[in-house]
Amino acid sequence: MPIIVHHLENSRSQRILWMLEELELPYEVKRYERNAKTMLAPPELRQVHSLGKSPVIQNGDTVVAETGAIVEYLVDKADGRLGPPPHRDAILRYRFFLHYAEGSLMPPLLVKLVLSRVPLFGKAAQKRIQPMIDNHLNFIERDLAGRDWFVGDDLTAADVMMSFPLEAARRRAGLDSSRPSTIAWLERIHARPAYQRALERGGPYAYA
């Protein structure tokens, strides 16, 4: 039975499509479009999960929400593929980036997006948020210097989790060629055949 991915356009759920392609697990996409005025998810998603957010996956009678929880579920389902290398330090790094992506990096990016839609006051407030984002981007640039992936020698689910916030940062929060190691990492993931297949399955995606 294929996994059903409830996929919202231009959202975190693109990561789930990519991960499923990397794992070569069968899946189907049910695609949703944002409200053109509010940019919010449509009310139909509440019929899948009461939060009405994406991503959400269904696997038989099992419904899993939240990107990190879905990623961990898929790693388990694939018998550990894309999980951490079997070394204590690597496992700690993996856990850090798996949770850092949404727990620390994404919140200031989301605040900046919200403020960009607020007239007058929003522009001034964004100037206070950008140094916080720059601190994260500088940390990531230092960490990626001399390495291809966030954990170990190969792609892991930690890279999958880090993709959306860094794509968002490149589009709207100052990530550019002044941070070459991070840009090279983004280009590396975008070139992967599985990533390209996920784009084909998911439809238009503004951040790739």
pLDDT of res. 179: 98
- Please give the share of the chain, as a percent, with pLDDT higher than 90: 77
The three state secondary structure string of the chain is: CCEEEEEECCCCHHHHHHHHHHHCCCEEEEEECCCCCCCCCCHHHHHCCCCCCCCEEEECCEEEECHHHHHHHHHHHCCCCCCCCCCHHHHHHHHHHHHHHHHHHHHHHHHHHHHCCCCCHHHHHHHHHHHHHHHHHHHHHHHHCCCCCCCCCCCCHHHHHHHHHHHHHHHHCCCCCCCHHHHHHHHHHHCCHHHHHHHHHHCCCCCC
Tell whether 93 and 179 lie within a shared domain. Answer: yes
Q: Do 96 and 40 reside in the same domain of the chain? A: no
33-37, 108-112, 166-170, 187-191 — which is least confidently predicted? Answer: 33-37
Tally of structural domains, the chain? 2
Query: Do both 95 and 154 map to the same domain?
Result: yes
CATH number at residue 147: 1.20.1050.10
Is 123 among the domain residues? yes
Supply the pLDDT for residue 37.
81
Domain contains 208: no
Does 208 or 198 have the greater pLDDT score?
A: 198
Residue 103 reports pLDDT greater than 70: yes
Q: Residue 120 — pLDDT band, cuts 50, 70, 90?
A: low
Does the pLDDT value for residue 115 go beyond 90? no
Per-residue confidence (pLDDT) for residue 38, from 0 to 100: 78
At 33-89, the pLDDT tens digits run: 888 787 788 889 899 999 889 999 999 999 999 999 999 999 999 999 999 999 999
Residue 122 lies inside a defined structural domain of this protein: yes
The pTM score is 0.93
pLDDT of residue 36: 79
207 in any annotated domain:
no
User: Are 104 and 188 members of one domain?
Assistant: yes
The residue segments making up the domain with residue 43 are: 3-82+194-202
| pLDDT at 113 (0 to 100) | 85
124-162: pLDDT as tens digits: 777 889 999 999 999 999 999 999 999 999 999 999 999
User: According to the model, what pLDDT value does residue 119 have?
Assistant: 72
